Amino acid sequence: MQTISIIGNMGKDAEVKNFSGKDYTVFSVGVSEKKGTETVTMWWNVYKYGKNEGLLPHLKKGTKVFISGGFSYKQSEKDGKVFINLNVNCEKLELISKPAEVAQVVEAAPAPQSTSSYMMPESTPLTSDNDSSLPF
């Protein structure tokens, strides 16, 4: 199996879609590259099996992500132009950074108050002046 790893920014919020009775979380990731004075962006359609409800709130437009998985492409033609759809069947997903607008809201929010606390016990010295209790 061929795999690909990409790092890029999400082009839209993730959504759950159903294909042939199976749920997938679907979103697009753009990977930009400078070529001379131009910036070229390659867009990937990402499909992650399942609803991924715990991830959905974090998969927002502008989020930088690392994606790894199997890839495929589909070529089509419309009005005499050739289009190629690049697809990743996501096996591994890591959130690298939040979109700027979400990060600003999170930073502006007050830190949550801790409801429990834990105090570290005082440490006991590992050695003492009298090392006669050591077996070696």
What would the DSSP string read from start to end of 71-102?
A: EEEEEEEETTEEEEEEEEEEEEEEEEE--HHH
Residue 118 in domain: no
Which of 64, 66, 57 has the alpha carbon at shortest distance from 100?
Answer: 64
The end-to-end CA distance of the chain, in Å, is 56
Q: pTM score, two decimals?
A: 0.68
Q: pLDDT tens across 82-95, in order?
A: 888 999 999 999 99
Q: What's the one-letter identity of residue 50?
A: G
Residue 69 in domain: yes
Residue 126 in domain: no
Domain that holds residue 7: 3-100
Residue 88 in domain: yes
Q: Are 86 and 42 in contact (CB under 8 A)?
A: yes
pLDDT above 70 covers what percent of the chain? 73
pLDDT in the model for residue 112: 42
CATH number of the domain where residue 48 is located = 2.40.50.140
How many structural domains does the chain have? 1
4-26 mean pLDDT? 95
Q: pLDDT tens across 29-72, in order?
A: 999 999 899 999 999 999 999 998 899 999 999 999 999 999 99
CA distances from 60 to 10, 29, 82, 95 (A): 7, 11, 30, 11
Q: How far apart (Å, rounded) are the C-alpha atoms in residues 95 and 74?
A: 27
